[in-house]
Structure 1
Amino acid sequence: MHRPQPTRQPGPHVRQDGQPVKQTTGRHSSCRKPKKISDETRNTDLTKNTTMRYVHRWREANRGVPDREGYVRLEWAAGSMQVDFGVARARIAGEMADVHCLVVSLPYSNMRLCVALPGENAECLCHGLMLVFEHIGGVPPVIVMDNATGAGRRNAKGEVALTGVFSAFVAHYRLEVRFCNPYSGNEKGSVENAVGFLRRNLMVPPMRAESYGQLSRLLLERCDGLARDSCCPRLPDVPVAEVFDEERAALMPLPSTAFDPVRWESRTADKYGLVDIDSNRYLAGPDSARSRVLAAIRWDTVTLASPATGELLAEYPRQYGRSRNVEDPALVLPRLAVKPRAWRESSIRPDVPDDIRAWLDSMDEKTLRESLKAIGDACRAAGFDPAMQACGEILRSNRDMGLHADSLTPIALRMRDGEWEYPGGIEEPDLSGYDRFITGTDDGGEER
């Protein structure tokens, strides 16, 4: 199983309170320039007033010079959507994390929406847009984005090649996609402003949620609240929400079938049965060592299957990071039953509850082999957690009975289905009525 990584120390781009800092490069105030020049030239005779006077004269002389290229005021049609990513800190399942916020803006009404995702790859992009489309009840005919959002990559000729997942997404929703020119954020200035606006108004202080799905729902609710409380720039007295209700008419209807943003890849497992996907390794099982494995990669899960038979080998939560090993103990236990001496140094040993681990450590090799095989059979039938619960119940009742497949697997299956009741938790029946009938006394103990 995935081991938690040590807490990252704040770097130069993160404040001590954990909030990201928006850095600007190549831009300094007139007060900052003198120190920077003296640090670079080691000219200690440079005074602050001299530099500030020079900067002031330069600005006065060049203030009236028109921009060589200039800008064109853009008028966006109803239904057009701009898309961009931003990063903010939030607490997910009790741990602080860098949340990649997919922000969309509809410039016609100035409607701004945001969903939370763990990354900025094509699978996350498609999933986030699907959440937005379902929330607004339609599909925009045109979306505008840059080529750094997981949608595609621009080649040397200036052409953008879409990723396979996003290309299928565009075809499914019948979208027209436009990409901005490099270093031209002004071409989608509405969403650029929305990224900072929503970060300041929604993510401060950091939000808390149990999952990315819950955080996305909370963000969308808050975005709706902002739309009701703010006015459209074109119509200063009309709330954004009312203008957006009129803009809905320009949206296309949602498709009748849902889209599955999945990327299929064929990989070769190493000698341990681990498959490398995006710099993380997932266990397909020792039986799959040095063989081909088919991987279905979604935004939140990685599913491994046999390409020959289609048999499901394993399914894991998708990891975002690098150099992590993700293992299902149920796949390792059958191999340990064949090699019980590897139990004490196995990677899944810390995942076993303390009382069960201590009991297995005290067993001889023969009993350990039989017990590991029984646990492996129960894991395949009911899953790892129900199997561990069944092991604990059996050992609490009678430690000398041991772990056997004929008793362990049925209890694990009943625990998985919620049909098992612990002996200590069973409510005893009220037999006082029989006592009164047999003894002929009432509740006070007196004869009737």
Structure 2
Amino acid sequence: GRPAAISTCPGSVTTSWKRTDYRAMDGHDPKCATFRALPNTKHRLDEIQTDYDGEYSTTMRYVHRWREANRGMPDREGYVRLEWAAGSMQVDFGVARARIAGEMADVHCLVASLPYSNMRLCVALPGENAECLCHGLMLVFEHIGGVPPVIVMDNATGAGRRNAKGEVALTGVFSAFVAHYRLEVRFCNPYSGNEKGSVENAVGFLRRNLMVPPMRAESYGQLSRFMLERCDGLAASSYCPRLPGVPVAEVFDEERAALMPLPSTAFDPVRWESRTADKYGLVDIDSNRYLAGPDSARSKVLAAIRWDTVTLTSPATGELLAEYPRQYGRSRNVEDPALVLPRLAVKPRAWRESSIRPDVPDDIRAWLDSMDEKTLRESLKAIGDACRAAGFDPAMQACGEILRSNRDMGLHADSLTPIALRMRDGEWEYPGGIEEPDLSGYDRFITGTDDGGEER
């Protein structure tokens, strides 16, 4: 019962099946996993039936014809037109390119659409996790001056995970967010764009109208402000599909009445996790490692993870150990030089191979490289004390000032720390930058002469 040939699309040449009839192959039919594995169909066929030597293009044409002939029957029944109530919001993520602080980056754009008025809003975020989602929604709520009573999204946005039964389990951060803002959240199928077609269209619309050419900003916060301003401009110049000739901005002004008021207390989208530092004092968070300090090696560390920062504290004492910008990506080590320098003072021979050596300015690094072990130990200790008191950057500025004034004096805590503190507070003025007082009046009073030297 195996056919010798199969006809392809009209006008094409009939191609022979040399050995294998796909429809009879081990009881499989074109809707099985074999045919859904495109573009690896040919390799899957080879795994199931080793004597197959048909052409890949023939396979593709047959699968295309089968799908066209057997496209889902429910689709042929059409769709139900949806009418969204005022205040309902749809949320989804899109990705676009932008220049952040001089570097091109893939920006995750959180897009919110209110179908009743067709108001479309967008903010920029570095990721799509629960912390970023909550922060982005907070920016949108504050911009529109209210909270939508209903939000529709899919479970691919970091809000939760759908289990095998189809139930969505909310993440801890987003669950607290929903309770804080008194929201009703509905989840739809992430592969069914028709269930939230308004925001699906808004993602493409805003990408074309906002992000081309790529926008520039110094931070994600600034980029979000630029985006929201442009969204307001688009709302004023575009028209509501339900009311031709009426700007979206006017319809949205009426829709604001359906929004709930903002809570009086701000929400903090933070995830708390307990971690054990390794022997170097590094803590692994989302596949990146943050330095809690050598003194925290093999100890428990409490991490507060927000969309833009990671804060490490001691669970026993509550002491702040370190705070870093949150990294997005994988396998990065993030270290605060101020935490490494005290350990280097104990082990000065590790200075030349230390991970923070490139962070030290060239002139200071060259001076430290030229010192003997005793002077290096004392200098590193002094720098470490200044870092703990004032921070790394003010300490480096103070080191540079001292070495420019008198390289032979060296670096000592009793002089370095006070200068670093004054530089941190903006109270230090560099030599040459201080205006000398005008003493000409005293000269005239004492000598009785004018500026030209003549007696008065």
TM-score, normalised to structure 2, is 0.85
For structure 1, which runs of at least 5 residues remain unmatched after alignment?
Answer: 5-14
Conserved 8 A contact 1:280-1:322:
yes
Equivalent pair of 1:138/1:248 in contact (CA under 8 Å): yes
Give the whole-Å Cα distance in 2 for the aligned partners of 1:18 and 1:117.
48
Following superposition, the deviation at residue 442 of structure 1 comes to 3.2
8 Å contact 2:35–2:63 — kept in the other structure? no
- With over 3 angstroms needed to count, the CA separation of the structure-2 counterparts of 1:354 and 1:17, relative to structure 1, is farther
Q: Is the 8 A contact 1:292 1:306 kept in 2?
A: yes
Task: Please list the CA deviations of residues 12-40 of structure 1 after superposition, one character each: whole Å capped at 9, or x if unmatched.
Answer: xxx9999999999999xx99999999999
Secondary structure (helix, strand or coil) at the match of 2:73 reads coil
Q: Larger C-alpha radius of gyration, 1 or 2? A: 2
Once the two structures are TM-superposed, the CA of residue 47 in structure 1 deviates from its matched residue by 15
State how far apart, in whole Å, the 2-side matches of 1:22 and 1:341 are: 67
Q: How far apart, CA to CA, are the structure 2 residues paired with 1:424 and 1:400?
A: 21
The alpha carbon displacement at 1:186 in A equals 0.9
Q: Counterpart of 2:25 in 1: which secondary structure? A: coil
Deviation of 1:423 (Å):
1.4
* Contact 2:304–2:312 under 8 Å retained in 1: yes
Distance 1:196 1:26, change over 3 A: farther
* Cα deviation, residue 330, structure 1: 0.6
Cα deviation digits, residues 118-168 of structure 1 (max 9, x gap): 000000000000000000000000000000000000000000000000000
What's the offset of the Cα at 1:245? Answer: 0.5
Does the 8 A contact of 1:295 with 1:304 survive in 2? yes
Q: Percent identity?
A: 92
C-alpha change, 1:128 and 1:188, in structure 2 (3 Å) is: same
Q: Aligned with 1:17: secondary structure?
A: helix
**Aligned in 2, Cα 1:135/1:189: closer, same or farther, shift over 3 Å?**
same
Q: Work out whether residues 85 and 195 of structure 1, in 8 Å CA contact, stay in contact via their aligned partners in 2.
A: yes
- Give the conservation status (yes or no) of the 8 Å contact 2:35–2:41: no
Distance in 2, Cα, partners of 1:440 & 1:20: 114
Higher alpha-carbon deviation: 100-109 or 30-39 = 30-39
**Displacement of 1:432 after TM fit?**
2.1
Cα distance in 1 for residues equivalent to 2:342 and 2:60: 74
Name whichever of 36-45 and 265-274 sits farther off: 36-45
How far apart in 2 are the matches of 1:255 and 1:243?
A: 24
User: Partners in 2 of 1:20 and 1:250 — Cα distance?
Assistant: 51
Q: 1:33 aligns with which of 24, 36, 40?
A: 40
Supply the distance in 2 between the matched residues of 1:331 and 1:23 (Cα, whole angstroms). Answer: 57
Q: Are 2:247 and 1:239 aligned?
A: yes
For residues 22 and 260 of structure 1, the distance between their equivalents in structure 2, rounded to whole angstroms, comes to 47
Render the CA deviation track for 1:211-269: whole Å, top value 9, x for unaligned: 00000000000000000111111111111011001000000000010000000000010
Q: CA deviation at 1:437?
A: 2.9
Q: What displacement does 1:78 show?
A: 0.2
- Shift in alpha-carbon separation, 1:352–1:133, aligned structure 2, 3 A: same
Verify the 8 A CA contact 2:156 2:190 in the aligned structure 1. no
Query: C-alpha separation between the residues in 2 aligned to 1:62 and 1:321?
Result: 42
Q: 1:91 to 1:120 in 2, by over 3 A?
A: same
CA contact (8 A) 1:20 1:89 kept: no
CA RMSD of aligned residues (A): 7.6
SS at match of 2:169: strand
Q: Tell me, yes or no, if the aligned pair for 1:274 and 1:281 is still in contact at 8 Å.
A: yes
Do 2:398 and 2:420's aligned partners in 1 also have CA atoms closer than 8 Å? Answer: yes
SS of 1:400 mapped into structure 2: helix
The offset of 1:438, in angstroms, is 3.2
The answer (yes or no) to whether the contact 2:34–2:41 under 8 Å persists in 1 is no
Give distance in 1, aligned partners of 2:26 and 2:265: 44
Measure the CA separation in 1 of the matches of 2:44 and 2:223. 46
